[in-house]
Each structure stands twice: as structure tokens, then as C-alpha cells.
Amino acid sequence: MKHSYETFPMDQAKGIRTLILDIDGVMTSGDIFITDQGEQIKAFNVRDGHGIKLLQRSGIEVAVLTGRTSKVVEHRCRELGIQHVIQGCLRKAEGIQTLCEQAKIKASECAYMGDDVIDLPAMAYCHLSFAPSDAYMAVLGKVDWVSGFAGGAGAVRQACEGLMMANEAWDETITRAYGVSAQESGWQ
């Protein structure tokens, strides 16, 4: 299986300038809590969020493309400084095209992380595709890399770290700031 630290596609990931993320099942566990008033509640992993901030500091942008629409997503993306967010997109290949045009980025410089069949067209459009370890089975067999972590539980962080490693940004972004080597974090 194509998963975890040892199998991250380092050579293919060189030159990636944008990581595009799905929300439900990637940035969250996929659980959606709905209150009696109809308000949605989602739980986001703070380590995934910190991974996003580290990736941004390393010079790689992060964008969001999701099929659902939620104020919670708006708030979380604003909090993380994610500027390019497309919600309510059920045709994700078209969404990626729109996102690339709006952000003035090339699909050949993008990686996409998704967890279900709705994400496959977007994955095919981008240079690299990633999935959390608990993604839908058909997705696991089609992506370039599978994280060793589940959605909402470290998958995004691991993808961010892999991109920093591949683009030689680990030392500048993490070792200098926090005194932590890639090896101490599980990377060989």
C-alpha cells in the first residue's frame, strides 16, 4: 500500500505550490453534528491546522474545495488564512479549474487531498493526489499517496510535512523555529 512516511512521493512533490483540501473526511473525521436549531458543528484537528500554517510559512499555499456549504468552514478557513475557498461544489474537476483561474495557479503545481469518489475528478486534474488512511476503498487504490493517519486525525499534517520535505523547506520552517528534525517527526 502507498502510505505513510516511507512512501511519500518526494520527487513528484517537488515544485508543488498549492495543496487543495476537501473538508469532510479530510480536515474533519467526516462526522457532522447538527443541533436542534439546524446549526452544523464540525471538529477540526489543531495539529492539522498547525501543519497548514507551517506549510503556508514555507511558501506553499493551501486552498479548500468542498461539496458542502457551511459557515463553520468559512470561519475555520479565515482563522487559518486560507484565501481560496470554494464551497458547494459537486463537480470538483470544474471547481479545480475555477480555483486555478482565480488563484492564478497551474494544476501541474497542485496536490489534492480527498477521501471519496466525488474527489476523484479533482485528483485526476491535479499533479498529485493524496488520501487519508480511512478514505473510501476505491479512492485508496487511485491516489498517489495514502497518509498513515485518518481524516481529521493527522492526515493533513502528514501531507503538509511531506510537501515541506520534498520542497526542502523543513529546516527553515520547523528545525530553525522549533529545534525539531524531520527524523524526530517520523521522516527518514
Domain residue ranges in the chain: 5-178
User: What's the mean per-residue pLDDT of the chain?
Assistant: 94
Tens of pLDDT along 126-163? 999 999 999 999 999 999 999 999 999 999 999 999 99
Nearest to 61 by CA among 109, 118, 8, 129: 109
Tens of pLDDT along 30-59? 898 999 998 889 999 999 999 999 999 999
Classify domain 5-178 by CATH number: 3.40.50.1000
Task: Give 18's contacts (C-beta < 8 A, 6+ positions apart).
Answer: 60, 61, 62, 63, 103, 105, 109, 110, 111
Residue 3 has pLDDT above 70, yes or no: no
Q: Model confidence at 1, in pLDDT bands (50, 70, 90)?
A: very low
The pLDDT value recorded for residue 5 is: 83
Over residues 105-116, the mean pLDDT reads 96
Over residues 94-119, the mean pLDDT reads 94
Identify the bridge partners of residue 3 per DSSP, sorted by sequence position.
146
